[in-house]
Each structure stands twice: as structure tokens, then as C-alpha cells.
Amino acid sequence: MNDSANAWIGLGANLGEPRTQLEAALAAIDALDDTRVVLKSSFYQTPPMGGAEQPDYLNAVAGIRTMLTPEALLEGLLSIETRLGRRRDGQLWGPRVIDLDLLCYGDQRRDTAFLRLPHPGMAKRAFVLKPLAEVAPDLDIPGQGRVASLCRAVDDDGIVKMEE
């Protein structure tokens, strides 16, 4: 794909069948127009964020090559979430049947009502950094630093790499 960009997507689920939902999301991402999944991390069991009582998450990251704009890619991810049963109720850090976050898109930065790049808070979230460090430890997150360094600085207690 000429003129394509590298992008990174965070995946998570803790309701229903999380492994099945993450696999379905990866297949759907790969099926987006002008987009291919080129790397994917292992799945990681992670404790949930926030105070709500809920099951542990299964998280992963995917590296893609895409010719879509960042905004079109995010629209595609939101559409995949809807197809896989996600209903947005405005609750932060609550249980999810699927959650897809556009983490980085090349070295671009955005700060609009629709899209913030890199994803806010990702540099402090072990459930993002641990799988990202597995597949892209040398990735430089614009304005935040190298993934391997950021990963060493976060508390990863309770995060377990799952067997395939």
C-alpha cells in the first residue's frame, strides 16, 4: 500500500467471550478498506480501571498499515464496535463487550472533539503499554517517549500474558 501510514490500535473486552470478541475485532480491522493488520500482540488479562465492580479485561494491541485518514480509521473502529455489540452509555471505565482505541497514527498529533492523538493517557496505562512493548518496544509515542521506557515506568501488577 503506497502512501500508507502505520497506526496502533488498543483492543479490550471483559464481557461475554472476550477472546472471541478480540479475534473478531482483529479480523474486522483487517477487513477495513485499504487497511491491513501487520502485527498483533499476545492477549493479556488485566485488572479493570475505575471503581466499578467488573470482571478482568482481556487486552491486546494491533499494528496496522492503512491508507485511511485518522478520522476515517476511527469511524471504522467505532463501526466495528457497534457491529460487535458495543452500546455507548457514557460510562467511563465500565465493562465492555469490545473497546477499540486508536492509540497512535504515525507521528501525527490531533486534539479535536472527535479525535485525540496520541490517545490520551496511554503512556500511563500498563494494559496498553505491556502488549505494545511486546511488539513495538522502540515505537516513539509523539510527545511522550519510547514505549519500552514508558512501560518500565508503569505499575503492571496483575497483568498476565495469556497462553495462545
Write out the catalytic residue numbers. 86, 96, 99, 101
Residue 97 is given by DSSP the state S
Hey, what's the cell of 77? 473502529
Separation of alpha carbons 130 and 61, rounded Å: 9
Residue 141 CB contacts under 8 Å (≥ 6 apart), including other chains: 104, 118, 122, 123, 147, 150
Question: Cis peptide leading into 55, omega within 30 of 0?
Answer: no
Partners of 13 in the β-ladder? 58
- Asked if 17 contacts 3 with a C-beta cutoff of 8 angstroms, the reply is no
On the 0-12 / 13-18 / 19+ scale of CB atoms within 10 A, 131 is buried
